[in-house]
Structure 1
């Protein structure tokens, strides 16, 4: 199992929207590196859902239920989407400010490449975020 982070603008699609849908496709990612990561996502992998914009915080955990397939919103057939299922809302969101303040995260792509909308989360950082959110390992 691998761990990932997916970013979303909550005014467009929030974790609450995913909770309401239960399972939904994650589409619209148009960055080559983010697409490379999405192509590596496998069913059973866990995903940290991160709200961008004014929130800038991790808010929930989802599970990949279908690996990469052609993005239904892309008429060119170049990009992929994945299907994710809501698993749990974090008891306490973890903000970007908190993450940047912790030296353990200094080399993570969320800190180094703020524009990237999909990225891996190394297991030690995943566990650290879960603890910061008030959970053990998910």
Structure 2
């Protein structure tokens, strides 16, 4: 069974174009326990919508797949990284992530405004006021509708 997710990144930090050029990447630097727990639930073959946040406009710009799960986030051990966690150790790693692979860039962004027109905040968590999570689940029904919008 394929699960669907939405994963946010600021395009200035890492964009769908960057992922397309690289082919795949470790989705590192997530430092929210709820988002980390969602990352821990991901399995190879799951699909994730790539969402550009803090952009003009913000919205879903493409699709990626999970190719490896339960990957140790290496940035937690690097004292020079903004994501360094001094409470984490190789024996007791606190932060796991996934490796994602580029699937497609949508021909047009599905803007936050369009998402608000198509879905309620109960259907799509990214629409909830004050939701700052960078990783969240998406139901199959909503995922199918997002893909249909992207293809139209």
Instruction: Tell me, yes or no, whether TM beats 0.5.
Output: yes
Q: Which runs of 5+ in 1 are unaligned?
A: none
TM-score, scaled relative to structure 1: 0.92
Q: Would you say 1:134 and 2:151 are equivalent positions?
A: yes
Q: Which runs of 5+ in 2 are unaligned?
A: 78-87
RMSD: 1.2
TM-score, scaled relative to structure 2: 0.84
For residue 93 of structure 1, report the CA deviation from its aligned partner.
Answer: 1.2
Residue of structure 1 equivalent to 2:74: 72
SS at match of 2:13: coil
Structure 1, residues 69-121: CA drift from partner, whole Å, max 9, x if none?
2101012231112100001111221011111122x333121111530100011
Highest CA radius of gyration, 1 or 2? 2
Residue of structure 2 equivalent to 1:91: 107
Residue of structure 1 equivalent to 2:80: none
For residue 39 of structure 1, report the CA deviation from its aligned partner.
Answer: 0.2
Q: Would you say 1:36 and 2:61 are equivalent positions?
A: no
After TM superposition, the structure 1 = structure 2 runs for residues 91-130 of structure 1, keeping only pairs within 5 Å, are 91-102=107-118, 104-107=119-122, 108-112=124-128, 113-130=130-147
2: CA distance between counterparts of 1:99 and 1:15? 18
Q: How many residues align?
A: 134
